[in-house]
Amino acid sequence: MITHEELFIGGTWTTPSSPELLDIRSPHDNAVIGRAVQAQPADVDRAVAAARRAFDDGPWPHTSPAERIAVIRKLAALREERADEIAALISAENGSALWFTKAGQPSLTRQADAYLKAAEAFGWEETLEPSDPAAPFRSVVRREAIGVVAAIIPWNSPFSSASAKIIPALLAGNTVVLKVSPENTLSMNLLAELLADAGLPEGVISVLPADRETSEYLVEHADVDKIAFTGSTRAGRRIASLAGAQLKRVSLELGGKSAAIILPDADLDAAVRGLKFGSLLNNAESCIAQTRVLAPRSRYEEVVAGLKELIESLGVGDPADDGTFIGPMIRRDQQERVRGYIRTGIEEGARLVTGGPEVPAGLEAGNYVTPTLFADVDNSMRIAQEEIFGPVLVVIAYDDEDDAVRISNDSEYGLSGGVWSADPAHALAVARRVRTGTVTVNGAPIGFDGPFGGFKASGLGREYGAVGLGTYTEYKTITVPAAR
């Protein structure tokens, strides 16, 4: 049993404003696996005040990029040393399959490396010569830190989401208050331990597990300069409205209902194998999950049959078991939400190919959902339009390529998507027509050097690489006399 009775505020473990401990429960059987204090508004005030002092009066914003890079390199090395411990904690808290959380550790290294590479080549200060050679001035353009960043992340992939925000924010010289979900308190307090050892000055970073009400208090705090949020579109709209009232900088990585377009010439076996990961990884509790599968009418039943065989082959059960691919949903209410969508699909008239709303036999103590496949789905159905965030796939027929692109784009979301074809150049041409922030061709993984984010209701701004680093900076232009 892990117990945390203190909060990590400004780089120091401190006594919280409320000593009450929250039970952290295993999604597998709802047993208590830890207890930890949660932040209250008074703790937010302390964390923001520490961050404000560290930014306004401390050394961190004035350190060189090389010094900040060195700190982040040390942080990345410390994380690698405890990779197995991190993976086990996330699996225990989230219900993610242990093989998946272990396999995700090298991705965290690549994510950090991409930001570090971007920081080394970043144009922190550049001199621009005027377009008119006779002009008596030149411009010095600087990229400076924004200030105090409130980074707010969800529970489904905590280390990746945290790293996507705190690494670029810190590299740019900002100070950070990281607000994490109560469900991830154990793993995120481990992150706090790593941050304590990385060599950051006093006040630069805090890690606060807290509920939604406390999160909103942080968003509205007058001393916060930027909000970086990952979560639902509904919450993102609320945050955007609050930030807009105060003209705070904001970046939002929100929900998705991504489509995988299987073109008529695609290798169906390869596509089905790829969709095992593109659609169902991390229990399908993923914003980029390609849960709408678009199949040509000429091969529709082949696609349905292939996906049926895939879904029925997936191991469902204890995330610690080697044979498990689909673990439990994070909480009981999320389990019921997903089961409710399955009932909705049946009521809407979709064909239930496999699965259903029944809880898998023998797993009633946990938050399990039976992986489910629907066919004969119209894109207007709720199960095709709304983000379910669970292992439910729908197969939608299309007439021709234009129809496939139209259906793919017929969504309020625009986060991710995929195209499958025997001709990668043709698939690339189709991908260019899909209105989403990321499109994969033939299952190519998403990298960390290019920008990641969404069109439409899937968010504002981008993460990863140089573009993601730039979102934590402000431009400053200084005009100086030209040398004579």
Instruction: Give me the numbers of helices (H) and strands (E) for the chain, helices first please.
Output: 16, 21
Per the CB < 8 A criterion, the answer to whether 176 and 200 are in contact is: no
Per the CB < 8 A criterion, the answer to whether 417 and 438 are in contact is: yes
Task: Tell me which residue of 361, 315, 370 sits closest to 342, measured CA to CA.
Answer: 370
Task: Tell me which residue of 13, 192, 128, 242 sits closest to 478, measured CA to CA.
Answer: 128
User: Residue 56, Cβ neighbours under 10 Å: how many?
Assistant: 12
Give Cβ neighbours of residue 265 (< 8 Å, ≥ 6 apart): 421, 422, 423
CA pair distance 399, 13, nearest whole angstrom: 60
DSSP 445-466: PP-SSS-B--SGGGEES-BSHH
CA pair distance 315, 93, nearest whole angstrom: 19
Per the CB < 8 A criterion, the answer to whether 2 and 186 are in contact is: yes
Q: Residues 221-238, buried b or exposed e (16+ Cβ, 10 A)?
A: bebbbbbbbbbebebbeb
Which residues are designated catalytic?
A: 253, 287
Give Cβ neighbours of residue 15 (< 8 Å, ≥ 6 apart): 6, 7
Per the CB < 8 A criterion, the answer to whether 196 and 10 are in contact is: no
Task: Tell me which residue of 185, 192, 139 sits closest to 23, measured CA to CA.
Answer: 185
CA pair distance 58, 52, nearest whole angstrom: 9
SS3 327: coil
